[in-house]
Structure 1
Amino acid sequence: MKNFRIESLILAIGLLLLGICIQKGFKSFAERDRSVNVKGLAEMEVPADKVTWPLMYKSLGNDLNALYDNIKNSNKIITQFLIEKGIDEKEISINAPEIIDLKAERYSNNDNSPYRYNVTTVITVTSNKVDLVRSLIAEQGELLKRGIAVTGGDYRYNVQYEYTGLNSIKPQMIEEATKNARQAAEKFAKDSESELGKIRHANQGQFTITDRDANTPYIKKVRVVTTIDYSLED
């Protein structure tokens, strides 16, 4: 009888300990499931550090040999203009001319045109001297005095500005985005009467570079959004 009581007591203590362990396990499991998902935004405006400037002009005529000589001379004049203004020769490239035979166009309405050939020539400046190129774009009318009319309006030959220094600002922007995410998580934890725990999962997000606006494409807006999961504790 005595042994039975001892065994019953041991069994009761064991069941009690088991119940405590199960309760703690459920509590721990529930706590592990408590988390908050937040996003942190970082934005920065930076000046473009690379520019691609296509100078496009057209030539009309009936004699291909004469057109060739004219284009060769025009290319020389444009190149000299750019070099005089501070553009390096290695930053200048001359594309092959695009020739359209107006008389050979099947659906052309140019039967009454006095010219047979329409030639498009493009000289491209690719440079890191963004400010210099911008000033030259404003001065390109000077080429009219030298007998060359640089034309625009063709979307294929728009000026393009780029920012290539992303790697140099990535750490700073990630740090700022992470800080902003943590501030949001701390506010959520405070409102829910919890303590903010460790990071459970983090996603850096993708960097995007866009024009600040349509009027200032030479100023870029860099943006990144990080997504972070924090655990919440009582």
Structure 2
Amino acid sequence: MNKSNGYYQLLGAAVLGVAILGCGWILKSAALDVKNMERTVVVKGLAEREVTADTVIWPVQFSDADNNLEKLVERVEQKNAAVIAFLKLHGFDEQEISQGRQSIVDKQAREYGAENQQFRYIARANITVYSQQPDKVQNALTKVGQLAKQGIAIVQDNYETRIEYLFSGLNNIKPAMVQEATEKAREVALKFAKDSQSKLGKIRTARQGQFSIIDRDSNTPQIKKVRVVTSVEYYLSD
């Protein structure tokens, strides 16, 4: 009876040992598989496009000065009407033209800087053109000298009068650009896998960068460059 019990105990121990070895081999194999799956490569893909601005904001500003306030106001109103007439002549309608605030400074009312001033009053008028036809602004800018002949000097060299060109069609080109950037990232990953004698696996993670819209150059702000960079992480295997 004791011999039988000892035999079964020995058999059980052997079976348990074999099971432990089997589990160990399975766990080791699984660990190796996991380790292989952890081999990855991170690549980036760039997509760029040149687009033309579809919206323009043109601040039109001029100044005048006089010692007679009444005459100054009257002259500013006349010049304001002349500027609006000029804009309409070059294709802008009333919906595209908005009159901004007018300001008049009395230099004698200032606590400093009033001496040796030729004119007591200085007026500044602002008109804003908001249009979805930037070409009309480009054309009007070449003819702005016509206003100078009427004694209207348009201010064009400060930050307040900087013309803004905008592109609002980003959503229309986003999908194609993201696809292009992702394809370029995959091309880089395939090249890396080939050079490292590996095989490219599935995507582990993917991140789309922010879209940026900048002027192509300082001379043609109406032409924009749109770019996006995607970052993709792929699995590698032998």
Matched, 1:127 2:128: no
Mean Cα deviation higher: 10-19 or 151-160: 10-19
Q: Partner of 1:146: helix, strand, or coil?
A: coil
Which structure: larger Rg?
A: 2
Alpha-carbon deviation of 1:112? 1.7
Q: Distance in 2 between matches of 1:72 and 1:88?
A: 19
**Counterpart in the other structure of 2:30:** 25
Question: Could you tell me which of 158, 162, 180 is aligned with 2:162?
Answer: 158
Superposition pairs for residues 75-114 of structure 1, below 5 Å? 75-108=80-113, 110-114=114-118
Q: TM-score, normalised by structure 2?
A: 0.92
Amino acid at match of 1:191: D
When the two chains are superposed, the root-mean-square deviation of aligned CA atoms in Å is 1.6
Whether the 8 Å CA contact 2:207–2:230 is kept in 1: the answer is yes
Q: Partner of 2:154: helix, strand, or coil?
A: coil
* Alignment deviations for residues 81-106 of structure 1 (CA, whole Å, 9 cap, x no partner): 11121111111111111222222333
**Counterpart in the other structure of 2:173:** 169
Superposition pairs for residues 1-234 of structure 1, below 5 Å? 2-4=7-9, 6-108=11-113, 110-234=114-238
- Deviating beyond 3 angstroms after TM superposition, the runs of 4 or more aligned structure 1 residues are 1-6
Alpha-carbon deviation of 1:8? 4.3
Q: Partner of 2:220: helix, strand, or coil?
A: coil
Which sections of structure 1, spanning at least 5 residues, go unmatched?
none
Residue identity over aligned pairs, in percent, reads: 42
Amino acid at match of 2:40: S
Q: Partner of 1:97: helix, strand, or coil?
A: strand
* Alignment deviations for residues 58-101 of structure 1 (CA, whole Å, 9 cap, x no partner): 11012222222211111111111111211111111111112222
Which sections of structure 2, spanning at least 5 residues, go unmatched?
1-5
